[in-house]
Each structure stands twice: as C-alpha cells, then as structure tokens.
Amino acid sequence: MNGQKSFADMEYGNRKRRTRRDEFLEAMNEIIAWDEWSALVEPYYPKGKRGRPPRGVEIMLRMYLLQNWFNLSDEGLEDAIYDSYAFRTFMGVDFMGSEQVPDATTLCKFRKLLDENGVTKRFFDALKVFLDEHGKIMHGGSIVDATIVAAPTSTKNEKHERDPEMHQVKKGNEWYFGERMHIGADAGSGYIHSVDVTAANVEERAVVPALVREDDEVVYGDAGYCGMEKRKEVKEDPHLSQIIWRTNTQRSPRGWQSGEGLRWHRFLEWQKSRVRCKVEYPFLIIKRIFGYRKVRYRGLHKNRTQAYTLCALANLYMLRQSGWASGVI
C-alpha cells in the first residue's frame, strides 16, 4: 500500500504534532499481516469475470476495519475517508491516480460477504492461534463476563416493530433492550478466547459452557455467576463438574458481619476481583474506544459476526499495547 509521495503527503509531513488517530492507525497498519488476513477472504471474493472489476481485497478489508474501529456507517465512512488524511493514508488511496474511495454500496456488499461465509470468526480464531503459539495466552483458567449492548427501541421502520431477536431485561432498577455479548478471557493475560451473542434476556450462566476451554481448571466471574456448580448442565458434564468456580459473592456469609471473619471474607473477594477485573478491559476497548454502545444491524447473526471482528481487534489493541512490533494474524 506504499507508493510515491504526493504534494499533500509532503505538506502533511511538516506538521508539528501527530493526532492520536494518526498514531493509532499507523500502529494497526504495522501490527496486522495484511497478506495473511487477505488470504482468508480471497476464497470467497469475486474474481471479476463478469461486470465491473472488483476492488482489491486489502483495500476493502482496510475500509471494513476502519468502520469497526470508529463506529461509522457505510456512507459516513466514505465521507470520512475523503475528509481525513489519516484515513486516506491508511487506505492507500491516491487521488492523483484513477481509483477513488470505494463507495458505501461496495462496502455493504463486502460486509455481507464476510457475514455469509463466517470470515470474521476465522479472523478471530487465527489471531487466537497466533497468541497461543507465541506464548501470549496462558491455559488453565478463564474469566467469564457479559455486557448489554442497546438496540434501537423505535418502531419507525417499514414493519413498525422492534427487532424481534432482541429482548429487554431488567438490571438493577432499569430496563434495557438489546443484546448481551458474552466473552471468555484468559485469566493470565486477559486476551479474549471465546465469544457469543444472545438476546439480552438470556441468563449469563446459561452461556458459560460455550465460553470455557477444554483445559480450564478454574473459572472466575462476578456475582451474577454464583451457583454455577449447582446447575444441571454443569453437574452432568465430566469437565465442567471438575472446574473450580471462583465467583464473587453478593454479601458476607452469616456470622461474618464484623471482626476477623469479615476481614478474611473481604480479602478473599479482593483476590478474586484482582483476577476477574482483567475481563473488564476488553469491554472498555470495545464500548468506549471503538464506540460500540449500540447495535447497528438487525438480528443476532449479523451482530455476532461484528462481535468476532470487535473482539479480534480488541486483542490486537492489547497486543500492540504489550509492545509487540508487527506482522500479526
């Protein structure tokens, strides 16, 4: 994606300071092995034997990742690339040449291709294998957690109804309508190794068996996961029944309301929280840094597809913060 510098590149290179967006995109450009990521898409990508020749896989993949990093619509991203020099540099678009920025319809079709062929899960799985091979993931323990992502509650659409696959749930004293994103993170490093998306009213504990790895011996969770060892599916599973469930409790045991017993109970809860808190950071990246606070698509399948992408990008973000240089899949 590198070419000859234009006058705009030389002028922009004389700026006194770089923006955080520019630094972030440069770091992501260095850490991703674009040839290997593109190879995962190419088997499903149109060959261009009919109609207009398709744009390159890499430029469409870069555009798709920009959309997930900055939470932009198809049309909004197209306009942003024209407006932002950092976006344009990351895309490798040169307005002096014959090619321009891919339009919103092209991006929509590319996202549909990834969705129909499960390519985003391959991105996530390939990155997980890389982390495992390079010793970035420890085995033996996992942390499970879930977060609610709001969905539009408006009925001002063609069918005059909400998304039928989304549901509402009461948390505390407030009601939420949307989906619930469940993740399993490595207890040692905090990298995400399992992802699932359900309606918001699905109980957190019901999804835990899909988030636990085969070699896990200990599982951490907040107070919402209390009583996992008593569930029927856990008792009947040979692996799950042997797991040690270290979940935070909602209140102190009876008789431990004061004195040495209360201090010991608080110490135990603090030790659990020291490990469990690692799972909160990926959610911070996804919801605050990437801006994924409200679902963009209708249906759980499309949102699950995006969840795999966001979790893979969150792992990349944490890997870059750890000091990894470049060439990752």
Structural domain includes residue 319:
no
Q: Which of 293, 321, 307 is nearest to 71 (CA)?
A: 293
Residue type, 88: R
What pLDDT sits at residue 47? Answer: 84
- Domain membership of residue 324 (yes or no) is no
Instruction: Report d(CA 163, CA 255) in Å as an integer.
Output: 48
Is position 315 within any domain? no
Say if residue 158 is in the same domain as residue 30: no
What does each of the 329 residues of the chain score in pLDDT, given as a tens digit?
555 666 566 666 667 778 889 999 999 999 998 999 999 999 999 887 776 668 899 999 999 999 999 999 999 999 999 999 899 989 988 777 667 899 999 999 999 999 999 999 999 999 999 999 999 999 999 999 999 999 998 888 888 899 999 999 998 899 999 999 999 999 999 999 999 999 999 999 999 999 999 999 999 999 999 999 999 999 999 999 999 999 998 766 665 566 677 788 888 889 999 999 999 999 999 999 999 999 999 999 999 999 999 999 999 999 998 877 555 55
Residues 55 and 156 in one domain: no
Number of domains in the chain: 2
Distance (Å, whole) CA 310 – CA 32? 14
Quick check: is 1 in a domain? no
DSSP 54-80: PPPHHHHHHHHHHHHHHT--HHHHHHH
Domain boundary among 117, 149, 181: 117
Same domain, 147 and 97: no
> 140 and 282: one domain?
yes
Q: State whether 200 and 257 are in the same domain.
A: yes
Are 110 and 152 part of one and the same domain?
Answer: no
**Whether 140 and 87 share a structural domain:** no
| 161 in a structural domain | yes
Instruction: Assess if residue 320 is contained within a domain.
Output: no
Concatenating the DSSP letter of every residue in 71-131 gives T--HHHHHHHHHH-HHHHHHHT--TTSS-----HHHHHHHHHHHHHHTHHHHHHHHHHHHH
Co-location of 21 and 142 in the same domain: no
Pair (86, 173) in one structural domain: no
Pull the structure tokens for residue 278: 């690692």
Q: Are residues 61 and 28 in the same domain?
A: yes
- Are 99 and 161 members of one domain? no
Query: Do 99 and 241 belong together in one domain?
Result: no
Give pLDDT, residue 48: 72
Longest pairwise C-alpha distance within the chain = 78
Kindly state whether residue 302 falls inside one of the protein's structural domains: no
Determine, yes or no, domain membership for 327: no
For residue 260, give its domain range: 136-296
Task: Give the pLDDT confidence score for residue 4 in this predicted structure.
Answer: 61
